[in-house]
Amino acid sequence: MHIYGLHDAKRAINTILPLTGYILGFIALTLFLNIFFAGMKAQNTVQNALAAHVAVTTVLSYLVMTFFLGRITELIFGLRPMPALALIRKKLPGYLLATLLLVLIVTPLFIMVSALFFPGNPQALFYTIMITLKILPIYVFPLVFITGQARHAVFTGIKCLIGNVSDSLFLIVLSVLAFLFEGYLLPELLPSLGNSTIASVITVSCNIFFSLYIFTAAAWVMKEKIYSDGESDKPGTLH
């Protein structure tokens, strides 16, 4: 049995390596924003500093991750790199739409299941939804960036995950770890760090690595499965 993301780990890491400089820059920028907004909250200079911090970091995360995932897709398929802004403008709508569709599919389903079997436990419902939203996109997001078709990618990606659960077990475990790391694993492993700057650096770095590694490994799987029939190695929907 070939375990995706484990037996081909070297290939996935080598694909990510060209983005190292950008990744370090994003980590530094995220750290700066954390320090900046922490200072604003401490000085009460902005009434809704927390909301502003969440909004800015969320928007920045989607923009930067769109660039990262788009560039990784180009590297995997050997395509000529698009300018960063053009790449973001082309790929961001599909990325956002796929994310929204996953939320709309998962949330009502688990609310209904929770109401039937686990009433009165909203915390369990929340964590179940969040972990599921980490696992389901394993093949969805690569397909979004490969095909540019968000709705098709959502259902095809979920179907691919269900049909390859055993082979995808390593990627599933990484997806769960990516969610648990910030809220549970880091405080347990390094309780002395608390909410320090070092903790922020470790958390951001690990989350980025997990996300990029899972996407890269899954994108290679999609390339080999979809384009292993001897046809064009470069789908026209990419650029």
What share of the chain has pLDDT > 70, as a percent? 84
Helix 150-163 / helix 84-117 crossing angle, nearest 10 deg = 60
CA distance 39 to 53: 11
Residue 120 domain-assigned? yes
CA distance 91 to 94: 6
Structure confidence by residue, pLDDT tens digits, 87-137? 999 999 999 999 999 999 988 888 887 777 667 777 777 888 888 889 999
Query: Which of 87-91, 219-223, 234-238 has the least mean pLDDT?
Result: 234-238
Structure confidence by residue, pLDDT tens digits, 170-220? 999 999 988 887 666 666 666 655 566 677 777 788 889 999 999 999 999
Q: CA 92: distance to chain centroid?
A: 13
Residue 38 domain-assigned? yes
The model scores a pTM over 0.75: yes
CA distance 138 to 215: 7
pLDDT band at 232 (very low <50, low <70, confident <90, very high): very low
- Is residue 200 within 8 Å of 31, Cβ to Cβ? yes
Cα distances (angstroms) measured from residue 154 to each of 51, 123, 172: 30, 26, 17
Residue 133 domain-assigned? yes
What pLDDT, on the 0 to 100 scale, is given for residue 31? Answer: 86
Query: Which of 13-27, 75-89, 221-235 has the least mean pLDDT?
Result: 221-235
Q: Which amino acid is at 94?
A: G
Q: Which residue has the tokens 């964590």?
A: 127
Residue 234 domain-assigned? no
Domains identified in the chain, total number: 1
Residue 44 domain-assigned? yes
Residue 74 domain-assigned? yes
Residue 232 domain-assigned? no
Average pLDDT over every residue of 147-151:
92
Residue 231 domain-assigned? no
Average pLDDT over every residue of 153-178:
92
Mean pLDDT of the chain: 84
What pLDDT, on the 0 to 100 scale, is given for residue 2? Answer: 76
By residue range, what is the domain housing residue 190? Answer: 9-226
Encoding tokens for residue 234? 């470069």
- Is residue 35 within 8 Å of 197, Cβ to Cβ? yes
pLDDT band at 230 (very low <50, low <70, confident <90, very high): very low
CA distance 235 to 232: 7
